[in-house]
Each structure stands twice: as C-alpha cells, then as structure tokens.
C-alpha cells in the first residue's frame, strides 16, 4: 500500500483525529506533515501569542510521534505546492486532513484538493474540529441559524458522534526514507524580543497538557462551574480554550468526558453544571457555524446598518492605547487588559466588560479590539473572536441589545466582590479597602494616602466619565435604530 500523508493543521493531537485514523486504517505508511503557510490564512494569519503557542504545541506533537516510532515532517511554504512535492517524493496515494471552517482556510483546502486530484491522489477532508458540520445544521427555512438558543435547541436533538479511536499500529510500516524536515524552531514562531507568553501564563501546550486540563476540570472544577465561571478571581473556568483552538483536544472528547459523569442516558445531561459547560461548547460551535455561513464578518458587521455607526475620533489613538495597556482608570477593565498582556489570556466575563468599554464607553470600532485580541490571546480563534466582538458592539448575530452597556464599577463589584482579581493584576491598588477598590476616585484623600495610591500619578483617573459616555453611546446607537437588522 502506498503511503498516506496526514496534513495536520489545527488538529495537533493523535487521539480523536479523524484524518489520522482514516490514514491508519488505509493500511500503508502514515506520514504526518505540518506546513507553516501564513499567507494561506488570508488576512488573519496567527497573531504573536498564537504563534508562540503553536511552537510549543508542535514541539509536544513531535515528541508524541517519536514515542510511537513516527515523526513530524515540518515544512514552510504554499500548502498545495508542499503537499504536491511530498506526494511525488513519497509516492503517496492519499492526502487526508481535517477540515477548518474559516474563510481563508476553506479556500486553501479547495486549492489543495484540486492540485492533488490532478495528480490522481486521493485527497479528502474529515470533520474533527466541531461537533457537527456547518452545512448539516440549518433552520426550517434551510438557512443558517442567527440566534443561539434555537441553534442549540436544534443541535441537542442531534446525536454527537463519539471520539474516533486511534487504531493499533496507527503509523503502519515505516516509510523507506523520511522527507527532509525543518526543526520547529526554524519556523521562527517565538517572539524575537519580549516575553514568551506561554511559560508566563503557566500553560502546558500539547495533547498531554490538554488531556490533563480536561481530566482536572471534569474531576473538580465542573462541580462548581455554574457558580464560579463568572468570578475572575477564582479558578472557575475550564481553561480549555487554547487547547480546543489548536486541536490538542477535540470538542467531542470534551463532550464525551462530561457526558460520562451523567447518569442520564438521553441526549443531554441532567446535571445543571454539566449542561452549563456543554452549552459553552455550543457557543463555540455556533461561532464557527456563523463564520462558515457569513465569511465576511471578521471585518464587516453582520447587520449592514452598523457600517454607518458614528465612532468617536481618537486622535493619535491615545484612548485605544490606554485601553490596550490597562490604563483606563477603571480597575476591572485594567486588570483584564494586564492579565492579557502578562498571560496571553483573559477571563471571559472580563473580556465582555473590556470589549463593551472599548466600543461603548470609548466608541472605538470593534475592529480595533478584535485585532488586538487576535494578536495577544493564546486562544485567538477567528470564529469566537468575531462572534464576541460583534456581540459586544451590537452588530452581529444574537447581539447584545444596544442599551446594554456594562457599568465597569458595578461589574467589578458583582463579579470580583473581594477584589482578588483586581489586586492580582493591578497591584498598585492592592492596599485600598475593598469598598473603594473598583472606584478608587471615590475614596477620601486620607484613605488614598494611607494606601499609597496616587490618582493621576501611580494609577490613572478614569479616562471617561461613565454617565457621560453611556449617554453618548445611547445617542449614537439610537441614530441607527431601524437600520441595523441583518
């Protein structure tokens, strides 16, 4: 049997890898290949933090493959050209991959498929990144869902396929001669200057790290998920998002692990904590389905009327920089932005508050926020990023109503009532009494002096007044009413 090439992309795992399992069942040698092809990603090539994670993940994958007597062929260049060359060199009869659903990735798959089929190579994609294929989940009119609740209700009626097992002897007989391969370090994915966010954030990229994270969450964190997931000062989330993004673990594996805890034999767990977590997996699914059906939304509002939104003028990008650097004067916002800079991640509740602040308090376009998150998040995912920012701006599917403007002080007091989160990431405010922590400008001068907090010197005063910013935002949104529907 001729060799089969497995083109690995965002599926950097061995288990529950449909393309890899199909190649192994085919019977011949299996050659895993990763190609660094940022131009093939289109306008949204991976950002700095994502590239750093990718480096560590590839190193982990290479080690896992060598443990099984295989190896990872690493290449750089145009994917179709590289795969054609490898197929010719190896005499490969098949090239398999797992489908991706971002616009650039889908176009690239078409180019690869056409190039390989011209050479008589069996070229096939498989579903391994999502629970369901986007074209298979449609509403009664045959179109895509644009509201989460009916989308998820529909999905819950569908059987989730189980994770795909890796066959015994998965990598088959050895190839006679392995192709030349770059080292992972040759891809120059790590930052040339500054801090690598991966060790700084305490992350453990790779399939083994993802499996440990899932086991730990299911064994402990899941029991408290419903009450702790919105509390940024607690370890209340699964922290699986970067592992899911890079395919170090698949959503069907997460689904199966959570379902295994439930005594319910039906489609969905009765355990409310499990149901809440799986609903978050559903939001990830929804985001990818939306992006598949509306491929222009990373840069264009789903609701066309929002293209006329009156964004504020930000001379010299001073306000944007203050937001990016965690210098807005609102502690919960600044804590989130500093957590992002330090660890490459931000708690989801704080992401919503920080995003709302940018687009509604500062009235700076959501595109600037999406680009910043894309470059700084280790879990930067085009579908999730697009859904989140368009939701915050009020211009996307299932968007927050225009009058929903997060009050940063109230959000901080509600979700970080003891101030643990703010004290960790904005340590200069640490000595303040908790009742003033989320609004330090309300503290008497004597309290500020006793805590060693200098407003305007050690910590900035608010760059905008909440009441005035809210009123301006409401006025801007009202000017669009009647012209914002998809």
Instruction: State whether 270 and 370 are in the same domain.
Output: no
- DSSP, collapsed to helix, strand or coil, labels residue 208 as helix
Residue 19 φ then ψ, to 5°: -65, -45
Sheet architecture: strand order including 4-8: 73-76, 30-36, 4-8, 94-98, 122-126
User: What letter does residue 308 receive in the DSSP assignment?
Assistant: G
Walk along the chain (486 residues) and give the pLDDT tens digit of each residue. 899 999 999 999 999 999 999 999 999 999 999 999 999 888 899 999 999 999 999 999 999 999 999 999 999 999 999 999 999 999 999 999 999 999 999 899 999 999 999 999 999 999 999 999 999 999 999 999 999 999 999 999 999 999 999 888 888 788 889 999 999 999 999 998 777 888 878 899 999 999 999 999 999 889 999 899 999 999 999 999 999 999 999 999 999 999 887 655 455 666 788 899 999 999 999 999 999 999 999 999 999 889 899 999 999 999 999 999 999 999 999 999 999 999 999 999 999 999 999 999 999 999 999 999 999 999 999 999 999 999 999 998 876 677 789 999 999 999 999 999 999 999 999 999 999 999 999 999 999 999 999 999 999 999 999 999 999 999 998 888 755 443
Structural domain including 459 reads 304-478
Question: Hey, what are 357's tokens?
Answer: 């602040």
- DSSP, collapsed to helix, strand or coil, labels residue 32 as strand
In a domain, 180, yes or no: no
3-state secondary structure 94-151: EEEEECCCCHHHHHHHHHHHHHHHHCCCEEEEECCCCCCCHHHCCCCCCCCCCCHHHH
Handedness of CA 223, 224, 226, 230 (dihedral sign): negative
Instruction: State whether 140 and 288 are in the same domain.
Output: yes
Instruction: State whether 138 and 123 are in the same domain.
Output: no
Please give the pLDDT value at position 267: 55
In a domain, 343, yes or no: yes
Instruction: State whether 220 and 105 are in the same domain.
Output: no
What is the distance in angstroms between the CA of the first residue and the CA of the last residue of the chain? 52
CA nearest to 205, candidates 74, 29, 344: 344
Instruction: State whether 455 and 317 are in the same domain.
Output: yes
In a domain, 187, yes or no: no
Handedness of CA 172, 174, 178, 183 (dihedral sign): positive
Which residues are designated catalytic?
A: 280, 283, 311, 348, 366, 389
The total of structural domains in the chain comes to 3
Q: Which of 293, 324, 357 is the last residue of a domain?
A: 293
Please give the pLDDT value at position 472: 95
In a domain, 239, yes or no: yes
In a domain, 174, yes or no: no
């Amino acid at each position: 049997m001729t060799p089969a090439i497995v083109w690995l992309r965002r599926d950097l795992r061995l288990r529950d890898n449909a393309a890899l399992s199909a190649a192994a069942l085919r019977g011949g040698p299996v050659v895993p290949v990763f190609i660094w092809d940022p131009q093939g990603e289109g306008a949204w090539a991976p950002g700095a933090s994502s590239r750093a994670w990718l480096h560590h993940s590839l190193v982990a994958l290479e080690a896992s493959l060598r443990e099984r007597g295989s190896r990872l062929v690493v290449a750089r260049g145009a994917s179709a050209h590289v795969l054609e060359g490898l197929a010719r060199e190896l005499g490969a009869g098949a090239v398999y991959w797992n489908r991706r659903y971002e616009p650039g990735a889908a176009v690239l798959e078409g180019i690869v498929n056409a190039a390989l089929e011209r050479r008589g190579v069996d070229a096939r994609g498989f579903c391994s990144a999502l629970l369901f294929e986007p074209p298979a989940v449609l509403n009664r009119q045959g179109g895509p869902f644009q509201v989460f609740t009916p989308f998820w209700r529909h999905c819950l009626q569908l059987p989730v396929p189980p994770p795909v097992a890796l066959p015994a002897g998965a990598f088959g007989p050895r190839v006679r001669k392995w192709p030349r391969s770059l080292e992972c370090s040759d891809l120059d994915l790590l930052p040339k200057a500054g801090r690598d966010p991966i060790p700084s954030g305490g992350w453990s990229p790779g399939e083994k790290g993802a499996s440990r994270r899932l086991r730990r969450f299911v064994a402990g964190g899941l029991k408290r998920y419903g009450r702790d997931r919105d509390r940024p000062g607690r370890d209340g989330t699964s922290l699986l998002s970067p592992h899911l993004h890079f395919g170090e673990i698949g959503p069907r594996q997460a689904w199966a692990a959570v379902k295994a805890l439930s005594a319910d034999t039906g489609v969905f767990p009765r355990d409310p904590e499990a149901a809440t977590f799986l609903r978050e997996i559903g939001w990830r699914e929804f985001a990818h389905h939306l992006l598949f059906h509306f491929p222009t939304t990373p840069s264009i509002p789903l609701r066309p009327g929002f293209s006329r939104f009156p964004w504020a003028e930000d001379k010299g990008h001073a306000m944007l920089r203050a937001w990016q650097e965690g210098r807005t004067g609102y502690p919960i916002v600044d804590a989130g932005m500093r957590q992002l800079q330090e660890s490459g991640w931000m708690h989801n509740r704080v992401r919503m508050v920080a995003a709302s602040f940018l687009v509604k308090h500062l009235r700076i376009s959501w595109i600037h926020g999406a680009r910043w998150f894309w470059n700084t998040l280790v879990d930067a995912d085009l579908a999730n990023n697009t859904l989140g920012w368009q939701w915050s701006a009020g211009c996307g599917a299932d968007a927050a109503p225009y009058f929903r403007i997060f009050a940063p002080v109230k959000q901080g007091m509600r979700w970080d009532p003891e101030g643990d989160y703010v004290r960790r990431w904005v340590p200069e405010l640490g000595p303040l009494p908790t009742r003033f922590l989320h609004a330090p400008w309300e503290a008497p001068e004597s309290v500020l002096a006793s805590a060693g907090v200098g407003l305007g010197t050690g910590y900035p005063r608010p760059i905008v007044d909440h009441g005035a910013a809210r009123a301006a935002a409401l006025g801007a949104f009202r000017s669009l009413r009647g012209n914002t529907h998809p």
